[in-house]
Structure 1
């Protein structure tokens, strides 16, 4: 909140001790704003305090964003106010649209995760086939020994060997 000092609609209230006539606790000060007394127009605003008070006093009655406040700083506030002023039917549509957007985002995220997982699985499988091909090429182990050491069915090892032989020129 911008610093609010004395003005026609701002009062500062302090808690004062009766016996010492001193402010008892600074943190218990109250600031009150009488918005009905704030009567500046949009062209008369001077600084953040006036903008803040103007928005508090007039937000409910503004039908569009004043040109001087149409910027990145205040636009989100006006968007929130617009949504807050929705009637019941508009709010239902707004919430339904948001749920639909959230669902679409969740589906997209889920599909992306599945794609990543499939890519990882494919990469692992390709790496495994490459290792098996290298073991077969080395002729240091029999197909049965490769199958047993990698815990892969012999039929898969034989299939990889057959594919290697078909690929050779």
Structure 2
């Protein structure tokens, strides 16, 4: 039922990337990796591109844009050093990566690595490098925050004593002392 409905959406609007991504995600959740590859191949053939995850931070009147796995920023070494420190500290207090969030055909380690470099985590690391402890971090994200990043932001706010505000495509998330204003409904 769901699969045929999504295929109908693609047929009605073959340039709409959302329907392809939705169908690919359904197949991935079902472990149908050949079908995932077929959908991605069809997207390529049709010239349809998936919208990449992007997070923006404004500091001192300047916008800083980060994409998943972004290494383009001139301060990437410091950012990734901070990101590694953040992830290690979270793991030391019980953070467990939600690898089920990754809808790619990767092993567990690959899934952990993919989640570790989501744009909002990079944006937080950048903010920590560039601001004083206690400064509120504000991030604008073009897509919905994933469950793993949501949990990570909860813990980061508690462990580092920082307020983190993430505006994703659905709502504002105000993380403070390990709790989000959405009460886990995102």
TM bracket, shorter-chain basis: under 0.3
Relative contact order, higher structure (CA 8 A, sep 6+): 2
Query: Structure 1 length normalisation: TM-score?
Result: 0.26
Query: Structure 2 length normalisation: TM-score?
Result: 0.24
Higher helix content, 1 or 2: 1
Q: Which has the larger radius of gyration?
A: 1
